[in-house]
Amino acid sequence: MENNHTHLSNEKKTLIVIICTIVAMAGEIFFGYTTKSMALLAEGYHMVTHVLTLGLTYTAYILARKFEGSEKFPTGTYKISTIAAYTSAMLLGFAAFWIVVESLQRFLNPEPINFNDAIMVAIVCTIVSAICLFVMKDHHFHLHNIEEHHHNADEKEDYNYKAAYYHIAADLLTSVITIIVLILGKMYNCIHLDAIVGVVCGILIFRWALILLKHTVKILIDMK
């Protein structure tokens, strides 16, 4: 019962975060068109991927709750959430790979950066991500102990929620670092620094995705 209560609480938190993300996404796309800022527009469409991921998380909760106790799932609906977490981890990995590739391309073929617009976008994204992460904050796990996984017969790790949490955490991390890098780049007129840090962030996010994949695969194939 306690585990079901936790999942219901996580479901509600996820819905709140989805609403916040949609509002931020719509605002960035709208102002991107009205101000002709490609930085704002690009970040707005980047937020679309987070909406899709969070939507997948929320849908998994609904399906798991709907089919709970169903004869179609004699062992329970826990793996529905795990499948969603596995898919989210895959998407996170692809996003990290794209960040690394794009950063390397920008390093080899640098383009002028509109620092003022880019800094404004990064600040907006940081605020939204920080609010979302605060809403999703859970005492059961933190970023520093991501590799710890203790289970017992009565309680199972909610990797579906953890996957959504790491998506937001990854966005917050990159946004904060981006603000610092853009300010330094503007001060010293260095556009290569942005690409270098992009590669580092991409590798870190990819590591999170791999760890999450490892845990979810073990559950899906019933591996101890």
Domain boundaries, the chain: 2-146+153-220
Max CA separation in the chain (angstroms):
64
Alpha helices in 67-221 (DSSP H): 78-108, 115-136, 159-188, 192-220
Q: State percent of the chain over pLDDT 90.
A: 0
pLDDT at residue 42 in the model: 60
Q: How buried is 95 (Cβ within 10 angstroms: 0-12 exposed, 13-18 middle, 19+ buried)?
A: buried
What is the rounded distance in angstroms from the CA atom of residue 131 to the CA atom of residue 15?
13
CA 13 to chain centre: 14
Please say if the pLDDT value at position 148 is more than 60: no
- Of 1-15, 84-98, 109-123, the one with minimum mean pLDDT is 1-15
Task: Enter the pTM of the model.
Answer: 0.67
CATH of 2-146+153-220, one of 1.20.1250.20, 1.10.3720.10, 1.20.1510.10, 3.40.50.410: 1.20.1510.10
Residues 12, 221: Cα–Cα separation, whole Å? 29
C-alpha torsion sign, points 138, 142, 147, 151: negative
Tokens of 92: 């996170």
Average pLDDT score over residue span 210-218? 83
| Residue 218 pLDDT exceeds 70 | yes
